[in-house]
A and B are shown apart, each in its own frame.
Chain A
Amino acid sequence: MADILGAEVDEEGFLVDLKDWTKEIAVEMAKGDDIDLSEEHWDVINFLRDYFEEYQIAPAVRVLTKAIGKQFGKEKGNSKYLYSLFPYGPGKQGCRFAGLPKPTGCI
């Protein structure tokens, strides 16, 4: 089994146990994708973690986009902005950095 900083990940790089998550792990995962995590990345990652804590699921991209716009301003509430932060998809890549499982319905 592969691991990142000692935390076990599955074949797609998602944490097996979300309790293992640390900020350092997120930084390390991002580095693997050639991304330097900015404050804007962290806003989304923290949002995803809070959302999961409250609803026990990762949000669908449509729901995420709307909620980000509501919380951080209209100019950020679109998929173009979110994809500029997470080129492999805000759902899939964002959730992976946030230590969450792959979103339901995400291919």
Chain B
Amino acid sequence: MAIKKFMYLNRRAPYGTVYALESLEVVLIAAAFDQDVSLAFMDDGVYQLVEGQKTDGIGMKNFSKTFHALGDYDINQFFVSAESLEERGLSVDDLMPLVWEDEDDDWAEKPSIKVVPNAELTKIMSEQDVCLSF
């Protein structure tokens, strides 16, 4: 099977709707097929990556923890819209410090999240074979 470039575009806040969780489930399934997967976060989707989510009070699964596992699934390209962060008064320091281990560099831990301006997101999107929107 030829390897294709898949991008999952996440635009919704977590918990209020089921989009964020559904996206993550599909990403995990897709990870089993050895494709080139990247994730993009824009609009309220950036809230999915905010550090310190605590869901005891609403009785829902805290799936923000699952993002920490994705490095082991070779999913280590998280593109976050700089404009979306700024509009919300957020910065990269408010996001979870997601990392992956680079096998070709003595398992050095490297950051998975990259904050990019929308213009660059546009370019990254145009390079994809498939773009799935949640």
Return chain A residues, CB-CB under 8 Å to B68: 54-55
A56 lies within 8 A of B72 (CB): no
A104, CB-defined interface residue at 8 Å: yes
Query: Does B28 interact with chain A (Cβ within 8 Å)?
Result: yes
* Stretch from A5-13, A32-40, A59-67 that touches the partner: A59-67
When C-beta atoms are compared, the residue in chain B nearest to A54 turns out to be: B65
Instruction: Select B65's contact among A56, A60, A63, A67, beta carbons within 8 Å.
Output: A56
Complex Cα–Cα for A63 and B66 (A): 13
CB distance B28 to A57 under 8 Å?
yes
Residue B32 CB within 8 A of the other chain:
yes
Provide a sorted-by-A list of 30 A–B residue pairs whose CB atoms are within 8 angstroms: A54-B65, A54-B68, A54-B69, A55-B65, A55-B66, A55-B68, A55-B69, A56-B61, A56-B62, A56-B63, A56-B65, A56-B66, A57-B28, A57-B66, A57-B69, A59-B69, A59-B72, A60-B28, A60-B31, A60-B32, A60-B73, A62-B32, A63-B69, A63-B73, A66-B72, A67-B72, A104-B28, A104-B29, A105-B28, A105-B31
